[in-house]
Amino acid sequence: MSDIIKIKTEYLNKLKNVSDLKEINQIKSELFGKSGKISDEFKKLGSQNSEERKKISSELNDTKSELQNLIEKKIKDIEINEINLKLKNERIDVTLPERTFNRGKIHPVSQVIDEISSIFSEIGFSVEEGPDVENEYNNFTALNTPESHPARDMHDTFYLDKNKKFLLRTHTSPVQVRTMLKGKPPFKIIAPGRTYRSDSDQTHAPMFHQVEGLHIDKNINMAHLKGCLNYFIKEFFEVDKIKMRFRPSHFPFTEPSAEVDIGYEMKDGKIIIGEGDQWLEILGCGMVHPNVLKNVKVNPSKYQGYAFGIGIDRLAMLKYGINDLRAFFETDYRWLSHFGFDPLDVPSSYRGLSR
């Protein structure tokens, strides 16, 4: 048997049982490496006469490619096996039950603030913000409420220092002052946010929420105020008709001033807005007092307008049938999962997103 056939038989045999990449590479270098067996045979060719050389070289080439092909095939097979094994071990069991997780809910107050902002933005109001910690000037003095004024006590103010210079704002009205001081008329803004008064029962919490409205321009009158509130209440409660009543009232920063009630009735323990003969107060409003305009450097003989302050928590309670205000701020997760809103489920009244 020629050396070539011997090598061929030996290695074909060896290769049959190999299943490891390392062993194959070992065989590869034994055969085709620098002093590999096949390489050596090629070297020997030089010493043959030309006829022998022709014969042997063709035999050698055949053997070389046969062994090489087999080796390449083996390597491929091993790689495929490895991938299959990996796939098998890392298989995802789609029948496993999903992992539970708690999805957060949007608090009714945040939801209602978004709804209100979206409704007012449709008729050209932009949204302003002011800080919870205010100075006494913005909260009272600039709003035509001097130091001796009884309204300061009426507000049950939380003061933050001995000199009563800093306080937790008792209403969102100081944002009127901030907005007008930093800009030039016309102004058409709403300002939602937290407000504070030392008060606590079923319908009052020491921290609550208001949204301020302010519209100042050259020809704004009380009819605009009525039209605007009428539109807002209809949109907010998603009803076509409402009953609304303006009661004369007093605020130092508006003249004339009014409080607004909406008509409702109770049917099967539910509040129906727009029917019946019960009245519920939801906001204070009026035409901005000339003194306020003077304080913020707006000329009252040129510009005038209206302002309003709506209790947000009340609106949320009415719209979503929540009867104890204090629950809003108790951060009870069970309460929130019941009354909160799914962030992925956009209600029709939240039109800012759905349109």
Which positions lie near ligand PHE, rule CB under 6 A?
171, 173, 251, 254, 284-286, 307-309
Cβ neighbours of residue 128 closer than 8 Å, sequence gap 6 or more: 175, 178, 179, 189, 190, 191
- Secondary structure element (H or E) that encloses residue 191, with its range: strand 187-196
Pick 117 or 144: Cβ nearer ligand PHE: 144
- Secondary structure element (H or E) that encloses residue 73, with its range: helix 50-89
Pairing of strands 244-251, 254-267: antiparallel
What minimum distance in Å lies between the beta carbon of 314 and ligand PHE? Answer: 12
What minimum distance in Å lies between the beta carbon of 136 and ligand PHE? Answer: 15
Q: Is the dihedral of CA 201, 203, 208, 212 positive or negative?
A: negative
Pick 108 or 286: Cβ nearer ligand PHE: 286
Pick 138 or 254: Cβ nearer ligand PHE: 254
Q: Is the dihedral of CA 280, 284, 285, 286 positive or negative?
A: positive
Among all residues, whose Cβ is closest to ligand PHE? 309
Pick 254 or 349: Cβ nearer ligand PHE: 254
Pick 105 or 209: Cβ nearer ligand PHE: 209
Look at residue 44 and give its three-state secondary structure: helix
What minimum distance in Å lies between the beta carbon of 353 and ligand PHE? Answer: 28
Q: Helices 312-320 and 108-121 meet at what angle, rounded to 10?
A: 100
10 Å Cβ neighbour count for 247? Answer: 12
Pick 38 or 285: Cβ nearer ligand PHE: 285
Pick 282 or 318: Cβ nearer ligand PHE: 282
What minimum distance in Å lies between the beta carbon of 263 and ligand PHE? Answer: 21
Cβ neighbours of residue 263 closer than 8 Å, sequence gap 6 or more: 242, 243, 244, 245, 273, 274, 275, 276, 277, 278, 279
Name residue 106's beta-bridge partners: 341
What minimum distance in Å lies between the beta carbon of 319 and ligand PHE? Answer: 20
What minimum distance in Å lies between the beta carbon of 234 and ligand PHE? Answer: 21
What minimum distance in Å lies between the beta carbon of 170 and ligand PHE? Answer: 7
> What is the spatial distance between Cα 180 and Cα 170, in angstroms, rounded to a whole number?
19
Q: Are the C-beta atoms of 12 and 27 separated by less than 8 Å?
A: no
